[in-house]
C-alpha cells in the first residue's frame, strides 16, 4: 500500500475504483455536477383574504387578513402556475422538514431519482398545510393525507406516494 493508505487523502464522499494496474482512482463530483443533482423546489405563496371585504361587513372600518382554503382546482392552478410539467407535491412533516429526506433514499444511489425529479415541477408545502384554513389544504384531503403525490399539471391523474419512493416508483409515474 502507498504512503496515503487505503482511504488516506480521499476527498469526503469520494469513491475509489481500481484502475488497470491496481492504482486507486478517486471520483469526486464537481460543483456543476452537484448543482445538477440538487432538487429544485418551488414554495408557493399562501394567499390571504380580507375578512371585511369577503363577508360584506359594512359596519367595520378595519379589515383583518387570514388564510382561507382554496377549492382543489384553484389550489392546483395556483401551485402549478405557468409550468406545464407534471407536479410533484411534497408536504413537509416534522421528520423531513427542511431536507430532501422524503424523496431521497439513503440505501440507494440518488442520481436517478434527482434526474427523474427534474422532469417534474417540484413544489414543497409546509407542515401547516393540513390545517383546514390553509390555502392549499384541499390538496391533502382524505382519511390519510399523502406525504407527497404526483399529478398532471391540471391536477388529474393523482398518484399518492409514500415517503422515500424508490427510483423505479418515481420513474413509473
pLDDT of residue 67: 73
Q: What is the dihedral of CA 110, 84, 92, 130, to 10 degrees?
A: -150
Q: Is 164 left (phi over 0), alpha (psi -120 to 50) or beta?
A: left
Burial of 84 (0-12, 13-18, 19+ CB in 10 A): exposed
Q: Taken in order 13, 18, 24, 29, is the CA torsion positive or negative?
A: negative
Q: What is the mean pLDDT of the chain?
A: 74
Per-10-residue mean pLDDT, the chain, length 173:
49 58 71 70 74 51 68 92 92 76 64 80 90 90 84 92 60 53
Percent of the chain past pLDDT 90, that is, above it, reads 23
DSSP three-state, residue 76? helix
Q: Is 73 helix (H, G, I), strand (E, B) or coil?
A: helix
What lies within 8 Å, CB to CB, of 161 at 6+ separation is: 146, 147, 148, 149, 150, 169, 170, 173
Give me the pLDDT at residue 11, please: 55
In the prediction, which pLDDT does 72 show?
92
Put simply, whether the predicted model's pTM sits higher than 0.75 gets the answer: no
d(CA 156, CA 160): 12
Helices (H), 60-147: 72-80, 111-117
Other beta carbons within 10 angstroms of residue 108's beta carbon come to 13
Q: How is the chain split among helix, strand and coil, in percent rounded to 5?
A: 25, 20, 60
Amino acid at each position: 500500500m502507498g504512503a496515503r493508505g487505503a482511504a488516506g487523502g480521499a476527498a469526503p464522499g469520494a469513491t475509489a475504483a481500481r484502475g488497470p494496474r491496481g492504482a486507486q482512482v478517486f471520483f469526486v463530483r464537481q460543483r456543476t455536477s452537484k448543482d445538477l443533482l440538487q432538487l429544485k423546489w418551488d414554495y408557493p405563496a399562501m394567499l390571504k383574504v380580507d375578512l371585511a371585504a369577503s363577508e360584506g361587513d359594512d359596519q367595520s372600518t378595519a379589515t383583518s387578513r387570514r388564510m382561507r382554503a382554496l377549492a382543489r382546482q384553484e389550489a392546483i392552478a395556483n401551485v402549478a402556475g405557468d409550468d406545464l410539467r407534471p407536479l410533484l407535491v411534497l408536504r413537509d412533516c416534522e421528520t423531513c422538514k427542511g431536507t430532501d429526506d422524503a424523496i431521497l433514499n439513503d440505501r440507494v444511489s440518488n442520481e436517478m431519482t434527482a434526474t427523474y425529479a427534474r422532469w417534474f415541477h417540484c413544489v414543497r408545502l409546509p407542515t401547516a398545510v393540513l390545517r383546514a384554513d390553509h390555502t392549499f389544504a384541499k390538496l391533502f384531503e382524505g382519511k390519510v393525507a399523502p406525504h407527497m403525490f404526483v399529478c398532471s399539471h391540471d391536477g388529474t391523474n393523482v398518484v399518492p406516494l409514500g415517503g422515500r419512493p424508490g427510483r423505479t416508483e418515481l420513474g413509473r409515474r
